[in-house]
Amino acid sequence: MKYTPRTIAFLCDLIHPPMAPDSRAIQRLHNGQFEKVDPVYKSYNVTAEGALLSNPVSAPNANSSVAFLADRIRFREELSGLTVESFAERVRTVCEEVVQLVPLQLFTAQQVTVRTLINPRHFPDSREFIKAGIFGFGSEMSEFGRDPQLYGMRLVFPPSPGDPNAHALRIESFNSDTRSVFVENQATFGPTVLQNGLAPVEANVHVAYQFVVERALKFLSHFDATQEV
């Protein structure tokens, strides 16, 4: 069964050995971006935690930014409409510029979070889909004396010999729109040695996304069927 995922957030933390944030280097990066036809980020600010590049957003709770902190570079795209291809490329290209200005040799780990929504085909309410379609709950819920307003599960896949990456998967009903199922994958990847190039940090974003669309959604499709009366 095919779904049309509506991705609402991409997050990426590139963790590195602790170092004092160099706001002047990030300002040079920002100034250099304005020499291009279309700079990636329009605004530059310095916070108590480090330098921040960002874009203006209009939707409530939206975010389009990259923060340069003491122990990581943190990309956030929430409700910004960016595709996985554009986000993955942005992570790589911005990091390529950063490592020319900041003495980084290694990312010790990378964490990528993908959040998306889908609509089940045979359940108009995502709570019923998870309650009855996945869990098979019936009268057992009466023990609580009331129905929960959110159903969900969490699955954790640690690294294995066949797959060195970790995935923490959340599947929940979505309070903001009861028709939609919320799916989040938080994927963790190992070190990236920068002298070998930054292609892996781009590829890892795609791996995290593919875990959702090629594995998690196929898993959900097994339960998305007309219920027998």
What ranges do the domains of the chain cover? Answer: 6-221
Question: What's the pLDDT score for residue 1?
Answer: 64
Reply yes or no on whether the pLDDT at 109 is more than 80: yes
Q: Contacts by 198-203 with C-beta closer than 8 Å and gap 24+?
A: 198/92, 198/95, 198/96, 198/99, 199/92, 201/12, 201/14, 201/91, 201/92, 201/95, 201/107, 201/110, 202/88, 202/89, 202/91, 202/92, 203/88
Instruction: Report the alpha-carbon distance of residue 151 to residue 226 in Å, rounded.
Output: 19
Backbone angles phi, psi at 179, to 5 degrees: -75, -20
Show contacts of 47-55: CB within 8 Å, 24+ apart: 49/21, 50/21, 50/23, 50/26, 51/21, 51/22, 51/23, 51/26, 51/27, 53/26, 53/29, 55/80
pLDDT of residue 121: 94
Average pLDDT over residues 60-72: 95
Write the CB contacts of 185 (distance below 8 Å, at least 6 apart in sequence).
113, 114, 167, 168, 169, 170, 208, 209, 211, 212, 216
Task: Give the mean pLDDT of 66-95.
Answer: 96
pTM metric for this prediction:
0.94
Q: Please, what is the average pLDDT of the chain?
A: 93
pLDDT value at 162 more than 90 = no
